[in-house]
Amino acid sequence: MIHKESIDRIMDAAQIEEVVGDFVNLKRRGSSLLGLCPFHNEKTPSFNVSSAKGIYKCFGCGKAGNSVNFIMEHEKLSYPEALRYLAKKYNVEIVEDEISTDEDKEAAHKRESLMLVSDWAKKVFVENLWEHEMGKAIGLSYFKERGFREDIIKKFELGYTLDEWSSLTDRAEKEGYQKTYLLETGLSIFNENKNSVYDRFRNRVMFPIHSVSGRVIAFGGRILKTEPNSPKYVNSPESEIYHKSNILYGLYFAKKAIRDLDNCFLVEGYTDVVSLHQSGIENVVASSGTSLTTEQIKLISRFSKNITILYDGDPAGIKASLRGIDMILEEGLNVKVVLFPDGHDPDSYVREVGSTKFTEYVEFAKKDFIVFKTDLLLKDIKNDPIKKAELIKDILESISKIPDQIKASLFVKECSTLLEMEERILLSELNKIKIKKIKKENQQEDLSIHTPEEELVHEQPRAEHNNANQEREIIRILMQYANKDYVDPEHEIDTSIAQHILSEIGNASIIFYNEPYASMLDLFKKALDSNFIPDEKFFTQHPEASISGAAAELLSTQYVLSEKWKEHDIHIPKEENILKKVVDNAMAHLMLKKMMSVLKEIQNQFKEVSDEQMQTELLQLYQQTKIQVSHLEKKLGVVVMK
């Protein structure tokens, strides 16, 4: 972990306008800087940067935060990685916190050791390819026969393993690398019968697998000679640093292009990725020798919500991959599919026609999943009505996985045209599938089963708990004025605004339901318990991105009062001069929401109670609460329509 003092130095050194300015063309407007948002497409600038507050806020897409948040979001880095990025930019020396327990120290040391031995092995494989006679004659010749240029071979750090039983293992031990780490990364294998250790990869060209941040964590090795009992590819086994379901081959090299083009090409093999990169098509990744997983889809979604799957012409493989399309839909991403002519895969096709015609073909041939799946499956049903009914259910099953109801309804309309079925029939069938799924999930979770109407209609949070605006305003006031005085001579109150608000919230037993406001309120409570009142900087530089982002959003304003108001002698009082009124109004709005919630709960209880005495008590409580509501409405000047 990075030491707190190092984090503070990084935050102090990082100038938000310089950090953002590396990626966005900023122009000054008043006290802020303005530019086109890097996180969504826009023609009119709505991305604001405040040098004084050290924050950014886009009033178009809502993204907000500090320098670290910006680098995390733009470069898709973790919090520590973003800190290191900024430390390097501003030449800030990083000190790591002392890890507390021996177990933590050992775990950190082990993980780093696995990374180091993997990086060392990569260097050996690269050295074999370029400097060893066998590597040049066999490995380098293979890559060049595939048409790979030297710069691309070096970019992907491709290599070669010697046709020897234990050359890597022996060399590792000579150079001081522990056998334990060779075995755990899978670079070496232990033979129990012979009580010996040998190399996993022998006489293969090597494809290093990089993490998102660019470190080598595993390998894929392709055989170069035909051997009946040897697989074409051998991949590293799962390890502490490599979980194949969480990794996409080539993502480290593709992430910028995926983000810039807002589309990710998904292919099957390592050579497809390398070949397309060589042709200038860089927004491409492969699933590392495994079926597509939910984790891999989520990884892509960090960079783009659009996936284009590039299949070769093998019908059996395509049908087996339909499950992957359903998984992509379930994660809320958009998916299109491209089939290449028979006998071609992305690698062979781009080598045959070149990058320009390849791109033109993809644009021409790509199909929405609904068209692709329908065309594919219609070929099998001929005129069989039973098979057609099964096809319709299969396609509706896919549509049911789409979380966006508007998208789903549009696909139903398209399906209606393609399959020559009435739209209302398809919608009815789709709802049946959804209801069946809901009931199954509820039974698995051992919950009461909701009626279909409840699940299909009530998608928003319950109104009585939808206090986001009120909670937001309370947190904004606390952030900006927590340490200011709250003085009420009438009730003999003289305290800080933070203490007054938290006291009122505690006395009224008010619960915050919306994140991150609930977490921010807890931070205020804990701070006050330690006789510390946090300021704006505490939140804008908070390591939790949701909190620092919310803080930046709360402190940003899109509008500035026109100077013409002053010309016409129109004066708006500054908020800091009327703080008591601001605090009282915010608390009154919050209390009103709570009272309305209480009224709703009393009404629900009354319907369920048959005891006359209990009903009387509930009615009395209802009347008392109504009086409180009326008082608050009068105080706030709320007009209630009857």
pLDDT (tens digit, 9 = 90+) per residue, 195-211? 899 999 999 999 999 98
Enter the tokens of residue 226. Answer: 């035909």
Count the Cβ atoms, other than its own, within 10 Å of residue 557: 11
Q: Per-residue pLDDT tens for 503-543?
A: 888 888 888 888 889 899 989 888 888 888 888 888 888 88
Q: What residue spans of 482-544 are helical by DSSP H?
A: 497-507, 517-529, 536-540
Contact 69, 549 (CB under 8 A): yes
Best CA proximity match to 255, nearest among 279, 275, 234, 285: 285
Of the residues 39, 58, 89, the one at which a domain ends? 89
| Residue 77: CATH number of its domain | 3.90.580.10
Joined together, the tokens standing for residue 199 give: 């190399």
pLDDT of res. 307: 95
Same domain, 230 and 83: no
Q: Which residues contact 405 (CB under 8 A, 6 or more apart)?
A: none
620, part of any domain: yes
Q: Predicted confidence band at 96 (pLDDT cuts at 50, 70, 90)?
A: low
Q: Quick check: is 309 in a domain? A: no
In a domain, 156, yes or no: yes
Residue 289 reports pLDDT greater than 80: no
Instruction: State the amino acid at position 12 in one-letter form.
Output: D
The number of domains in the chain is 4
Same domain? 497 vs 603: yes
Residue 608 vs residue 340, higher pLDDT: 340
Domain end, chosen from 457, 473, 505, is at: 457
In a domain, 330, yes or no: no
For residue 550, name the pLDDT band (cuts at 50, 70, 90).
confident
| Domain co-membership, 414 together with 388 | yes
Which domain covers residue 136, as residue numbers? 104-242
HSE toward the beta carbon, residue 251, CA cutoff 13 A: 28
Residues 575, 80: contact at Cβ < 8 Å? no
Between helix 579-608 and helix 468-481 the angle, nearest 10°, is 150
Instruction: Give yes or no: residues 487 and 525 share one domain.
Output: yes
Tokens encoding 514: 């919306």
Which residues partner with 49 through β-bridges? 33, 56
Are residues 73 and 179 located together in one domain of the fold?
A: no
If asked whether residues 586 and 453 sit together in one domain, one would say no
Phi, psi of 379 (to 5 degrees): -65, -25
Residue that terminates a domain, selected from 414, 431, 457: 457
pLDDT of 43 strictly over 80: no
Token code pair at residue 556:
């940003």
How far is residue 630's CA from residue 200's CA, in Å, rounded to a whole number?
77
pLDDT digits 0-9 by tens, 403-437 = 888 888 888 888 888 888 888 888 888 888 888 87
Same domain, 150 and 224: yes
H helix runs in 44-101, sequence order: 67-75, 79-89
Q: Quick: pLDDT tens for 169-203.
A: 999 999 999 999 999 999 999 988 888 999 999 99
Closest CA to 72 of 14, 114, 3: 14
68 with 110, same domain: the answer is: no
pTM of full prediction above 0.85? no
Residue 516: cis peptide before it, omega within 30 degrees of 0: yes
Query: Is 262 part of any domain?
Result: no
Is 95 a member of any domain? no
Phi, psi of 513 (to 5 degrees): -105, -15
CATH number at 164 reads: 3.90.980.10
Is residue 431 domain-resident?
Answer: yes
Q: State whether 606 and 523 are in the same domain.
A: yes
Is residue 497 located within the same domain as residue 597? yes
Q: Quick check: 311 and 318 in contact, CB under 8 A?
A: yes
Of 206-210, 271-275, 448-452, 559-563, the poorest mean pLDDT is in 448-452
- Of the chain, the percentage scoring pLDDT greater than 90 comes to 28
**How far is residue 469's CA from residue 464's CA, in Å, rounded to a whole number?**
13
Judge if 191 and 229 occupy the same domain: yes
Identify whether 354 is part of a domain.
no
Note whether 550 and 612 are same-domain residues: yes
Check residue 450 and give its pLDDT: 41
The pLDDT, as a whole number, for residue 599 is 82
Give CA–CA dist 127/136, Å, rounded: 10
